[in-house]
């Protein structure tokens, strides 16, 4: 539940949750917005959207519209519209597996997830207003799903800037600026890595990105 805190949604904001289902972060964003403003909750899966709609209903959320779309293609119809965008991307869940079942984690499929994640992040950024804030997050600890994805965005969008943000009471580590033979953009150090031993939780990665004017 940390990524919405990095997003800092306000009651007057126009917000997009690009990969919203089943809705735990969507309902949290709606609460932070005091059920005001406008929140668009998108997901590509009809089955998952059913869970999303149910969770919004039982939580009494009234400021949210649910849509079903391939998030990678949304910029074809929406650009430069949102004050805040959350891209809580599909991932390998290695942050959960490492903390609970370390021997079960396998790297198979991470490369294909990397390409999906970077396309979703780029799409989310294109839909952000100038001066808007995007938060990219995963429950993975693998650099290919995290720093490498944000590094790709920085190489494609000259107006993208990674911002440092510290949430009181949360222990964390800085993002990586290199991994194996790969050297990342130096601003990747402003990303947030949370390991299981930091707060006795699963592991997470969060990047807060601003679109400059």
Residues that are catalytic: 139
Q: Which residues contact 206 (CB under 8 A, 6 or more apart)?
A: 2, 3, 6, 135, 136, 137, 191, 192, 194
CA torsion 169-170-171-173 (nearest 10°) is -140
Length of the chain: 213
Provide the pairing of β-strand 14-17 with 192-194: unpaired
Type and span of the H or E element at 179: strand 178-179
Element housing 48 (H / E): helix 46-58
What is the rounded CA–CA span in Å between residue 34 and residue 18?
20
Residue 146 in contact with residue 198, Cβ under 8 Å? Answer: no
**C-alpha closest to that of 154 among 211, 81, 89, 74:** 211
Token digits of residue 190: 């402003």
- CA torsion 11-13-19-24 (nearest 10°) is -10
């Amino acid at each position: 539940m940390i990524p919405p805190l990095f997003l800092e949604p306000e009651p007057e904001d126009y917000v997009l949750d690009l990969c919203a289902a089943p809705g735990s972060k969507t309902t949290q964003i709606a609460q932070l917005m005091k059920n005001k403003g406008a929140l668009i909750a998108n997901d590509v899966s009809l089955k998952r959207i059913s869970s999303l709609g149910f969770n919004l209903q039982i939580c009494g959320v009234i400021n949210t519209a649910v849509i079903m779309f391939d998030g990678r293609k949304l910029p074809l119809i929406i650009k430069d519209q949102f004050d805040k965008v959350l891209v809580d991307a599909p991932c390998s869940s290695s942050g959960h597996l490492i903390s609970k079942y370390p021997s079960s984690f396998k790297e198979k499929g991470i490369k294909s997830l990397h390409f999906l994640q970077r396309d979703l992040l780029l799409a989310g950024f294109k839909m952000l207003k100038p001066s808007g804030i995007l938060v990219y997050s995963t429950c993975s600890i693998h650099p290919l799903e995290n720093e490498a994805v944000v590094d790709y965005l920085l190489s494609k969008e000259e107006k993208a800037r990674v911002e440092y943000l510290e949430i009181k009471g949360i222990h964390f580590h800085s993002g990586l600026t290199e991994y194996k033979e790969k050297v990342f953009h130096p601003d990747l150090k402003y990303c947030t890595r949370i390991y299981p031993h930091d707060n006795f939780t699963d592991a997470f990665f969060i990047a807060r990105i601003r679109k400059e004017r």
